[in-house]
Amino acid sequence: MSKSSDRVGDACCPPGALLHEPLSAVAAADMAVKLKALADPVRLQLFSAIASHAGGEACVCDISVDIEVSQPTISHHLKVLRDAGLLTSQRRASWVYYAVVPEALASLAVLLGATSAHAAAGVPA
């Protein structure tokens, strides 16, 4: 592990950080967890379906219609996204509702080159 201290910080990064300075090992490890969770076609579709749903949250009942995998598989993928800090979940009555964590997505967008202001806007209302 690199011990350099003059690299992109551990918690947050300036816009386009990936392009401007070598990432620290700690920042790279943190980002890799989130990228790995998103690096699956079904999880990307699920994440996108939740993020674009009215109010920025959705239950499995809302999103399973358009994604052709079984509900247990969907639940597994949602758990991976939640464990990576990309989604939160909340049980209401019979359903668990999932919502995107705007800061998590913003940190990835900023890393990859977004303006911080735009990325910080996160999920649309």
**Judged by CB under 8 A, does residue 106 bind a second copy?**
yes
**Residues 6+ positions from 5 with CB-CB distance below 8 Å:** none
How far, CA to CA in Å, does 124 sit from each of 55, 96, 101, 121?
8, 21, 12, 8
To a second copy, the closest distance from the beta carbon of 100 in angstroms equals: 8
The window from 23-31, 71-79, 90-98 that contacts a second copy (CB under 8 A) reads 23-31
Whether the CB-CB separation of 5 and 21 falls below 8 Å is answered with no
Closest CA to 18 of 124, 104, 114, 99: 114
Near a second copy by CB under 8 A: residue from 66, 91, 92, 93: 66
Near a second copy by CB under 8 A: residue from 9, 12, 35, 88: 35
> Residue 1 half-sphere exposure, CB side, CA atoms within 13 Å?
8
> Going residue by residue from 70 to 99, which x/- string records binding to a second copy, judged by CB under 8 A?
------------------------------
Near a second copy by CB under 8 A: residue from 9, 10, 44, 85: 44
Closest CA to 60 of 70, 122, 101, 52: 70
**Judged by CB under 8 A, does residue 16 bind a second copy?**
yes
Near a second copy by CB under 8 A: residue from 60, 74, 78, 100: 100
